[in-house]
Structure 1
């Protein structure tokens, strides 16, 4: 049976009663699928439902094969050894015991057919740029970005049939991203990736657009999706203009009809008042006119209602996604004022800022470097969350810190 993920009549609601999915049907087959949608549309929730981390209120999720999931926020026990985080500690210990001459059957059962597990682990770490991370080191010695790659390495070693990636490049530097892109390109099974990283989404085979609890499929990568979406939206906006013109026309025709009916009514009343014809004839004519007027009015009102319905449908097809706009105030720090002073700073985990460094206002500084270089450690030392191993840090103005993980 080919590897696949099939979701049927899926329903899920948050504990506060907010519905996320109601009767969702979707299937993911072999290849790389980019799952996109606005924040809050349910992308991460859908991955958790597929991975079995959440239970649906109704419907079914069927997966043909083993599932591996890289969550958006990777949390690993900092006391774990790297081989434990990779899930190979028991096999590795059994291998070393056999190499030392122990011939217990339990060791052979633990190893199974995976005699090259240690070599594969080191090779996988090397492919992801973690060749410097030994299997006996602890997770606490690696950076946030490296821990993401470490979790990915564990998944690649497991070789699951279905791989779910939720914002995998969030904490990766450019070099590490390139490693991840290569791993994504070479993945042979079913992959569903949620990401806002355009470069990563250029590597997928198809795009699944999750919107209002439903998925629309687009063939090709993110550029193909944007092109198709632009054509769709242009057509939708054109339909809105056509529907608006029709709605205005129907309103005019209804108004014109009401004016004509009012004139006929006044004329009929005048004839009635002047009694120019027999009463029975005028009564019949009045009833016929009233029936005709009623039908005429109903016809125009129905046409107007239909035009309004078409307009509402056309407007709904045009996307009007909310945008977040933040106006940042100009700094109150005067030019040339010393903001921060670092002097021969030694950081935890070995990074250093040699000599003296002064930051003057108003300046914006991009702090860049490889995963594990000590960027976050430096910021946490400046804020006072971590103590410096040596040297001095002096902040001369009030400061605030927005951390990597809220």
Structure 2
């Protein structure tokens, strides 16, 4: 049995970086850059107005109330080059090209228009005011986004604004999921005594979807060694990571551990000194990582967030693997016995965190409203209201 920290260290140490692939930039959010992106153009590529107002020569404004003749108009998308002469102004709109010779833009709120003249009610006017200069965001040939940058919607917009149509990124892992348990029913089957509806697969597929993994191969196996081995072998041949839910404990009908040995997977560790989720197994072959998760749904989801998700993120090139952690004051007293660290389903606001009722490994109702997990090591078995505890924020 390993500790929580030992388990995390072993997982990260045994998780490689996946190969790269080209992706259309518009579909690259959630991926990690595998190359520096050099700007193919300056951004902006021409001087732009950042305001609706009037393009002027700043030195023409020698005091408040100066009037300038309105000589022309410049709107966004204008392709002709305009030139501003001394003593005149050009009506201009946000994003429009600033005319040659103009040195500032006065926002329209500081002007009054009378008889074809614009009265400037601002003084002094700084040179360059409200003008976006060429290359102000990024110069041509400069690093626009560095390798290992996690791409966000803002990244997509920035790259497409420079006409970067595709990027080299680390690919996301292919995931296979094995569901075991003869007691399980599919959603459209009638409920009978001794049976329960299977929900772990949809729960885990949904969690993977939050990480941008939208295709998961799901297989079901009977509670026998032969079918479990066959399913694991098939999933391993096609996927980078295989998750199994259920069948990993020490019961007579728990075959996942034996099946992994049967397909020549090397067990890195089995069992973690924690509650819930003690019977977690992590194994590997040269091509595939295996996580055998407990069948109890709350245990399975805790293990996914604390152990599987960091591996997926490392495979995908992320530099931050684990859930965001912070210290927060707890709102109630809490204590536990035993020699295992505890993970508590919890709800955190901006000021504090509250453990939820229903901490049993089978109880998923509390996870349905949780937005955090409290991590309590054994050395922190007795906490009092107001004590600081380690909080892991769930992804949303």
If the TM-score is normalised by the length of the shorter chain, which range does it land in?
Answer: under 0.3
Q: Please, what TM-score do these two structures have when normalized by structure 1?
A: 0.23
Q: Please state which structure has a larger fraction of its residues in helix.
A: 1
Q: Which is higher, the Rg of structure 1 or of structure 2?
A: 1
So what's the TM-score if we normalise by structure 2? 0.23
More strand by share: 2
